Amino acid sequence: MSALVMQNKALNFDDALLEIKNVTLRFGGLTAVSELSVKVPRGAIVGLIGPNGAGKTTVFNVVTGFYKPTEGVVEFDGKKLTGLKPHKVCAAGLARTFQNIRLFYNETVLENVMIGAYVRQKGAWWQNIIPFSFPGAAKEERDIRSASLELLARLGLDSHADAVSSSLPYGAQRRLEIARALATKPKFLLLDEPAAGMNPQESQELLEFIHRLRDEFDLTILLIEHDMKVVMGVCEYIWVLDRGALIAEGSPEVIKASPKVIEAYLGKEGLVAEAGEEAAHA
Ligand SMILES: Nc1ncnc2c1ncn2[C@@H]1O[C@H](COP(=O)(O)OP(=O)(O)O)[C@@H](O)[C@H]1O
Ligand SMILES: [Mg+2]
């Protein structure tokens, strides 16, 4: 990571953009998330890690309104989010990507981004189907198109604008999903395993990409990731979940050194491998 010049921000937990207060979610007899209380400081990049089945994606689903918690509340910028439907959560300024990429594969790259932008339009979506009867809608459609092209250019995807999404290489599909999320003009971005399936070079590029996004789009980011290089390289603060419960939180250095985390997540072999690698780079 030392090759990268990435500026970490000072974290102010008194100025939290997102606050999860005592959230529990049960599926029948299974407690997927247990009494979780955490804050994401405004402007931070926070990582959420833990073994498979720890409850990470469920936390995203609670925050974004896909699931309603059994107990507890989620607040965004001081306002209660709990109980809002996903599209309302999105309108409030939160956007996400999915563990398994979700794109409109038969649509072009540009169309995928435009779909994101419709969240912010003033007129009803159906006015765009018969735009000639609604001159305002026709102008809005043109504006959305040009803003979407500009966004694609900022993300280095403009050369693919007219390509069918399914034809993109895997790494570019991941970036397109992020582009579509950004088209909703979020303040808060949730990324669920964005480096999954990427080779080391793609992961490294993604790491720099996420950092650049935070700065250029003035975002706060919550990131679920298995790739420890990505997590330790990009996150300023990390939460560790195990069987639904928060077992540790802190800076990457604190997390790397936490015996609880090593036991639950990295395993003894993982620790030895990490230590060996650090020594090799020293
Ligand atoms: N809709 C659901 N119904 C029942 N159980 C679920 C549902 N979604 C997730 N779970 C369970 O909740 C636990 C946490 O899952 P998940 O949040 O996907 O974990 P992670 O993302 O950390 O791998 C798992 O045991 C999973 O099987
Ligand atoms: Mg998951």
Residues 6+ apart with CB under 8 A from 117: 144, 147, 148, 183, 184
Q: Which residue, judged by its Cα, is nearest atom 12 of ligand 1?
A: 32
113: alpha, beta or left? (left if phi > 0; alpha if psi -120 to 50): alpha
Across all residues in the chain, what is the average pLDDT?
Answer: 88
For residues 249 and 44, what is the distance between their CA atoms, to the nearest angstrom? 14
Q: Which residue, judged by its Cα, is nearest atom 2 of ligand 1?
A: 27
For residues 81 and 67, what is the distance between their CA atoms, to the nearest angstrom? 12
- Closest ligand by atom to 56 CA: 1
Q: Which of 104, 107, 111, 153 is nearest to 128 (CA)?
A: 111
pLDDT tens-digit map of 51-83: 999 999 999 999 999 999 999 999 999 999 999
For residues 231 and 203, what is the distance between their CA atoms, to the nearest angstrom? 10
The share of the chain scoring above pLDDT 90, in percent, equals 68
pLDDT tens-digit map of 138-197: 788 888 999 999 999 999 999 999 999 999 998 899 999 999 999 999 999 999 999 998
- Which segments of the chain does DSSP mark as H helices, in order? 56-63, 86-91, 109-117, 135-154, 170-182, 200-216, 228-234, 252-257, 259-261, 267-281
pLDDT tens-digit map of 238-282: 999 999 999 999 999 999 888 888 887 666 555 545 555 555 554
Residue 9: CB atoms within 10 A of its CB come to 14
Query: What pLDDT was estimated at residue 1?
Result: 41
Residue 242 in contact with ligand 1 by CB distance below 6 A: no
Residue 50 in contact with ligand 1 by CB distance below 6 A: yes
Query: What pLDDT was estimated at residue 22?
Result: 98
